[in-house]
Structures are given as structure tokens and as C-alpha cells.
Amino acid sequence: MTPENQPRARGEAARDPLHRGSNPELVIDVEKLNKSFGTKHVVRDFSLQVRRGEIYGFLGPNGSGKTTSIRMLCGLLKPDSGRGTCLGYDVVRETAQIKREVGYMTQRFSLWEDLTIRENLEFVARMYGMRDRKEAVASALRELNLHERQDQLAGTLSGGWKQRLALAACMLHRPKLLLLDEPTAGVDPQARRDFWEEIHGLAAKGISVLVSTHYMDEAERCHRLAYIAYGKLLATGTPDEVLHLFRLRTWAVSGQPARLVALAAELHGEPGISHVTAFGNTLHVTGEDEAELEKAVSKYFDEKDLAWRKAEAGLEDVFIHLMQSAPEAEQ
């Protein structure tokens, strides 16, 4: 509760007014946020800028600090150090204002399972002190096609419906910024597609969205991406920029499954090869240097049962590469 106890880097304060707050286009602008639980340094020097109306994808393996970062942005956790703003409000001191204007969807379903859909929405509407509560709830039910199920207990809903309800609840007070923590985990592909259409619709209306995910197809649907691992932000940029962060070259090879498993083991750790990933019946062999990669794989070109072709390195290849070159030893 003491906002003064964060170290401020000297000199940075001077450029502060130019850099933050004054730029209305930035809905999230945080710098060097840190968070530890006990001896575990969960988030290190986390900096992020999200522009208005942007869908910002937040990627990283489990336990990389995504949820902790999001919680710091919406005032649920107090950063140990660092500073910044969310919707122009200070993330340490003005959490009450942030809470009122941000919609936060938790990773785990966190509405009340023993309340009905309508009761949940009405409760949330009351918490935000909405004057037009009845209308807001009715229109939320209508928009999300939850009208017929309004008297069903939230706990009896399937995963997809729970997710729709959670989204409806965090949208209810018409927030300017949505923070969605793995909103599509455990949801079927159709529901995921619908969900992303909804998100794009919202972004078109000027609502900014920060969404964390594990799915590469979802990452590609974002305007910008950030990749975090071991509490450190490793890369940011548009999907295209991230894709070309490294000059990754990939060879795809298909063949008998048993042979591919053996081949993966043989190629693993060879000079010129950064990683080998299985995609169904093909193996992606990726390296940073075209010549060295080719040298490593060319000795298998003659093998009869294997079919080799050049492939595009995908986001997943980039992230795996990032993971492997990350300084995990700091843990």
C-alpha cells in the first residue's frame, strides 16, 4: 500500500512526461515491472506498450509469468518495483480507477457456480454500480445468445458456455480495455473461432484487448505479440515481425512414423540444427544458418523412405527457438 517504495531510475523521470501518460494512444504503458513470490522471481523487468484498439497477444509457456503480469496490470497484484500506467492510471496507486474501466477475464472460471447466469450478470452489474443494470444485463444476455439459459446455474454450463458467460460478465460495464487470461483454454475450435470474431468486433469499436494464449493460430490473429518465458519478455512485434526475428530455415521431412522418431533423435543436437519438432507425420527441422542446416540434413536426402522439402518457419518454430536461447539458468 506504499506507492513510494519503488526504486526509480535516475534520469528516467525527466523523460517521463514525454514518454507516458501524455500519449493517449497507449492504453497500457508499463516499464520494468518486477514481481517475486518468496524467493521466486516470477516477472522480471516487464515492459509493455499496447495501443488503443489493438489486439495484443501474450504468449509464453506455462509458469512464464503471464498471469502474474496481467494481474499486475489490473491492480490485483502490487508490483515489487517498476512503474507505468493502464488507461492512463498509475498501476500502483490508482488501482481502484483501473478496476472500474478494465474488464478482466480470469484464467479459471471465477464466476459463482451456484448463481444462475442472470444472477451472476446482475451481481457484476451491481458491483460496477451500473445505473442501467436491467438493460445492460438483458442486452448482454441477448448479444451472447444466453437468453434462454439465463436461469441455468453457471456451474452446470459446459466449458464453452462458461467462457461466453465470463466474457459477457467482464464486458458488462463496457470497459475500455479487456485483459483476457487464456480465455480459450479447453474450448472447442468452433467456439474459439466465434470468440475471436467477437474480439475482432470489439477491437473495431476501439476496445483494446490483451489476450494470453497457447494457440499459434490465435497468435496469428493478433495485431501484435509479446512472448514471455521465465518471467522475461523475449520478443515483441507484429506476428510478421516476430516471424522474421531470426533468419530461421526449416526443412520438412515425412516418412514412416517409427523412422521419424529415430531420425528426430539422430538430428537432435547436431551442429546447424536448433530444434526438431514433430507435426503429425512430418518433422520440422529448424536452424538459423541455411548452409549449416542443409549440411546437417543432406546426408539423409538419399534415404528412400524419407521425403524432404523446404518449409516456412512458423511462429511456433520461432517461439521454440526463443525458448531454447532464453537464459533459463537465471532461475
Partner 1 sequence: MRFSWSRWVGIIVKEFIQLKRDRLTFGMIIGIPVIQLILFGYAINSDPKRLPTAVLSADASAYSRTLLAAMQTSGYFRIEKNVADENELEEMMAHGTVQFAVTIPENFGRKLVRGERPVLLVEADASDPAAIGNAVAALAQIASSSLNRDLGGSLAELKAVASPIDMRVHRRYNPEGVTAYNIVPGLLGTILTMTMVLMTGLAMTRERERGTFENLLSTPALPIEVMTGKIIPYILIGLVQVTLIVVAALLLFKVPMQGNPLLLYFVVLIFIAANLTLGITFSSVARNQLQSMQMTFFFFLPSILLSGFMFPFRGMPDWAQWLGSLLPLTHFLVLVRGIMLKGNTLDELWPAIWPILAFMLVVIGIGLGFYKRTLD
Residue 126 binds partner 1, judged by CB under 8 A: yes
Sign of CA dihedral 212, 217, 219, 221: negative
Whether the CB-CB separation of 104 and 74 falls below 8 Å is answered with yes
| x/- letters, 149..168, toward partner 1 (CB under 8 A) | ----x---------------
Query: Is the Cβ of residue 64 or residue 274 nearer to partner 1 in the bound state?
Result: 64
Site for partner 1 in 238-297 (CB under 8 A): none
Cell numbers for 172, please give them: 458488462
Alpha-carbon distance of 98 to 112, in angstroms, equals 23
By beta-carbon proximity to partner 1, the closer residue of 117 and 225 is: 117
Name the amino acid, one letter, at 328. Answer: E
Burial class from Cβ neighbours inside 10 Å (0-12, 13-18, 19+) for residue 10 reads exposed
Q: Is 100 in the site for partner 1 (CB under 8 A)?
A: yes
Cell numbers at 61, concatenated: 509457456
* Shortest distance (Å) from residue 91 CB to partner 1: 12
Q: How far apart are CA 166 and CA 188, in angstroms?
A: 16
> Where does this chain touch partner 1 (CB under 8 A) — which range of 83-91, 117-125, 135-143, 281-289?
117-125
Per-residue CA distances from 75 to 62, 93, 109, 148, 164 (Å): 22, 9, 19, 35, 24
Binding residue (CB under 8 A) for partner 1 from 10, 15, 108, 205: 108
> Among residues 6, 93, 112, 176, which is the contact residue for partner 1, using CB under 8 A?
112
CB of 54 to partner 1, least distance (A): 21
Closest separation in Å from C-beta 130 to partner 1: 9
C-alpha cell at 128: 460496477
Q: Choose the binding region for partner 1 from 17-25, 100-108, 190-198, 223-231 (rule: CB under 8 A).
A: 100-108
Judged by the rule CB under 8 A, the positions of this chain that interact with partner 1 are 1, 71, 74-78, 95-96, 99-100, 102, 104, 106, 108-115, 119, 122-124, 126-129, 153, 169
